Chain A
Amino acid sequence: MSPLPIPWLEAALLLALAGAASISWLRNLNRAWRWGVAFTGAVFVCTLAASLGFYLQSPTEADADGSLQQYLFGRPYLSLDKLNAPLVPAVALLHFLTAVATSRTKMRSYSLTWSLTAEAIHLAKFACKEPGILVVLLATGALLPLVELINRRRPTRLYTLHWILFVGLLLAGWRLLVSADGDALRTSAATIALLAAVLIRCGVVPAHCWLTDWFEHSSFGIALLYVIPLSGVYAAIRLVLPIAPDWVLHSIGLFSLITAVYAAGMALVQHEVRRFFAYLFLSHASLVLVGLELHTTVSLTGALALWFSIILSLGGFGLVLRALEGRFGRLALRGHQGLYDHSPTLAVCFLLTGLASVGFPGTLGFVAADMLVDGAVTVNLFAGMAVVATAALNGIAIVRAYLLLFTGARHTSTVSLAIGLRERIVVLTLAVLILGGGLFPQPGISSRHQAAEEILKERQSYFDARTKGRKHPLSASYAVTPNRIRCNKPSCADATCPQPVPFTQAAEQRLFFTENIFLETLNPLDNTSRSPLNVRH
């Protein structure tokens, strides 16, 4: 039993929201920054405690004293499982490090209110297993970039088009799915709509222009925070992977593979740093999707490990570029800039984080990339070759950018452009994580392996039920009725074990009310299942 049975996840979310609200009132930039760092730091500590609690098998969010979810809904809608337990603190860490590394030149353009709101939504999204709520969170989260673009008075048309398409397909898919009731045609249509939404959100070619446009027009830090956690991949795992037939997964794989190679090629010919980063990111995100499509244990483990690696390594890479932008303005990749002598540490970290993202040996991404290639070769040799070619192209693009930025005639400046203390702390933290994870990969890979097995088990259970002709409630992750709550303790292997939570009559009524409103919103036609009397056995 943990000595501190506190609902850490809820605390993290509430802190992020409280931070966003309180900072929005502050007008002094330095003060706002200090409070922002404090809040994002506290949020990170809470998520870390929640994650440690999960791995140490302490009480779940629902069991914790004073759980708000327990009080309101009688069950935890947001909780950690094997998939999201490391991702949630990683996302919080990225937000924290971004806030810490914000230089004075960037404070004006980097909105901490936006960052904390986005963090709250990100954390809720990543802690959410209920598809309905996840759909709402994805749609809401996708509004934040629009707010940023409007605030910065930049063109919004392209992003709005993207948002309408994404949210429309997402809601349509979800609604069709809820109302499918075992109908194969509707289920297929729903899956296709969800698939399209996920592909658009992930920026798969040809629906990727929103992403490069987003990097063009937003603040670099904010652009990073919005895309790096790979919400689209999370949506794919929670919404599509458990129920998608093989042909849908093959479509994801094909589109993703094309995107991975295409984006890697595009990264090689870019003339500006942000666009280069955007394509690099696209290529990596697509590789994660490729791993999902292959849906073997090895490839899925590789994809999940690569995902985690991307958050840290590409996140770190982005922060290094942002630090350079803070000194030299937006950087062109047309000629040699000669920045090495001003900031050798940034140069080293540029290479370290960049090469880690392409799976350079000894770094966090190496084993992940190796597993991904192994999984791809198992399924198709050409897919394996494409994955390897992508990694090779990305590697060339990174070293090309390094040589263009850091070599050349020494840049002259009358003031010191050396790395600051805060930035140094951030890049060293990331370096330690990247190298530590690369030299001792077993714990991380084991954790991702368990998550992969769980995902594949869910998928298998769905298809088994369909084969046997049973009316399966879509899948375990699609369970919305409270009597199907499962124990989420990692030690518990029994899939049917009910969660031992006290359930009061008041909570039952609140739950009934909340669920009915939510489901009616999504599916006004389906009114067959809800009654306060059958919600709990």
Chain B
Amino acid sequence: MAEAVEGMMGLGVAAIAAPVLLVVFLGIFSLLDQRLSERTINKAIQAAIVTGLLSSLGVLALMLALGARHVVVYVSEWVNTAGFHVAVKFVFDRLSVPFAILSFVLTGAIATFGMRYLHREQGYNRFFVLYAVFLLGMVMASLAGTIETLFLGWELVGLSSALLVAFYQERPGPSRNGLWIWGVYRVSDAALLLAAVVLHHMTGEGDFDRLLGAGPWPAGGASVSATQAFIVGLLLLAAAAGKSGLVPFSGWLPRAMEGPTPSSAVFYGALSVHLGAFLLLRVSPLLERSPGLCVVMVALGLLTAVLAYLAGSVQTDIKSALSFASLSQVGIIVAEIGLGFRYVALVHLLGHACLRTLQFVRAPTLLHDYHTLENAIGESLPRPVLPLHRLITEPTRLWLYRLALERGYLDSWLRSYVVGPFVGLFRRCDALERGWTDFLSGARSRESDDLKPTPARIEELI
């Protein structure tokens, strides 16, 4: 028995160590500017994912055999000073193990797809370094036993996602979209960090065992009041909304499709987009302390689902349509969590992630098949008419069409009422500073205004 438990611990460590070693291996060569061959990268990726997957499956098998529902792998006390401590701890339970296995399976499948899809692509090495960072982030977030460890994984997922959206870096479009997504993620990260610190502060601990009660997931009860749960829950909901593209942050999802198809598939079809829902599932014992919060969650989930359904119905490219289809399901999952159906939400999440990944990687060939069919029958394929069409009047239908086409006006609303005024304010401050500095200097103070690097100048510099 003791040996089996030890074996389980060892396998747990291996599941986490595999992506860590992968990132270290690929990262060191990137820092040294040494290009690895595609073959070496592929082998490293495959070895890490297979090791991680087999270890996770081993943990699952041993848990089932031993009847263990909650296995803690304590790595170390990361920081411990008077009044502040952070532990690195991983938890294997009914929530984390399926999600970790899902992460390994889907990243493995998509990595294999990506190896062919990106063959001889100039940024092959860069793609897989970021992919490895993403895998590490997902595994860390899935298995996190403390809110700080979860935050670590959360941030890694965010950074790798944003940089992969900007993967095709010769065009400005992907960069702009990557920056937008990073901005949304930073807001989401800020909310999660604040929630983590507030929770840490309320209970003196960052460990989920203490925060959410000692019982294995989904049992347990948080030792915070309803008001505290509501405040922290709102922060967590904001974090989840940013990461999963819930209202009002849904606008970033179609922008994320600028990245290569493999990353779109695994990030926005399958894993990354579900991370917010996973967070809500993880802290669900805390959320249920506040009924008001549950109502907000259900409302937000349903609103997102409806909006995503409408927006998805009018998309003209398959990746965007699929991303909105994903979002509508994520909205429903969030509503399920709000209603307290945790297992339903978990099963929904796992099934949906697998289905959507398949759809994403099938999308290019599906279009080809459609074209073949249309050529064969000599006309366009018949389009299904929605039953709602008969119930809605023409003006309402037009209004809904416009709303869907503009994706609920969420992006333009954020741009007009948040980003625009913010940037405008600071640009005005910059102009005022310019005047003030010129006045104090008694001359034009900004020589940087006149400097424009040109190729001729660069050659002179060398």
Contacts and interface: CB of A to CB of B under 8 A. Distances in A.
Interface of A: 105, 155, 157-158, 161, 209, 212-213, 216-217, 262, 265-266, 268-272, 274-275, 296-298, 301, 326-332, 336, 338, 340, 344-345, 348-349, 355, 360-362, 366-367, 370-371, 373-374, 377-378, 381, 384-385, 388-389, 391-393, 395-396, 399-400, 403-404, 406-410, 412-415, 417-419, 424, 428, 431, 441-442, 445-446, 449
A445 B81 contact: yes
A379 to B, nearest CB: 11
B422 A265 contact: yes
A405 B63 CA distance: 50
A409 B453 contact: no
A57 to B, nearest CB: 21
Interface in B94-113: none
Contacts of A217: 447
B17 interface: no
Smallest CB-CB A-B distances: 7 pairs: A407-B169, A361-B152, A329-B453, A272-B448, A392-B190, A449-B81, A392-B186
A393 B186 CA distance: 8
Nearest to A208: B433
Given A213-B445, A374-B200, A403 B440 contact: no
Interface stretch (B65-73, B297-305, B323-331, B424-432): B424-432
B331 to A, nearest CB: 25
A362 B156 CA distance: 9
Contact of B175 (A327, A328, A360, A408): A408
The size bracket of the interface on B is 35 or more
A367 to B, nearest CB: 5
B57 interface: no
Interface stretch (B8-16, B39-47, B177-185): B177-185
B31 interface: yes
A402 to B, nearest CB: 9
Given A327-B461, A407-B175, 11 more contacts: A216-B445, A216-B448, A217-B447, A270-B430, A338-B169, A345-B31, A361-B152, A361-B155, A384-B198, A396-B183, A403-B179
Nearest to A449: B81
Nearest to B440: A158
B187 interface: yes
A367 B79 contact: yes
A330 B426 CA distance: 23
Contacts of A340: 169
Interface string B121-160: 0000010000000000000000000001001100110010
20 contacts: A157-B441, A158-B437, A158-B440, A213-B437, A216-B446, A269-B430, A275-B446, A297-B81, A298-B84, A331-B453, A360-B159, A361-B156, A377-B197, A385-B194, A389-B190, A392-B190, A396-B183, A399-B178, A403-B175, A408-B169
The secondary-structure label for the interface of chain B is helix
Most buried by A among B31, B86, B151: B31
Contact of B451 (A212, A332, A345, A404): A332
A329 B459 CA distance: 10
A391 B193 CA distance: 11
Interface string B73-95: 00001111111101000000000
A302 to B, nearest CB: 8
Contacts of B442: 155, 157
A271 B162 CA distance: 22
A3 B316 CA distance: 77
Given A157-B440, A392-B186, A328 B453 contact: yes
B79 A442 contact: yes
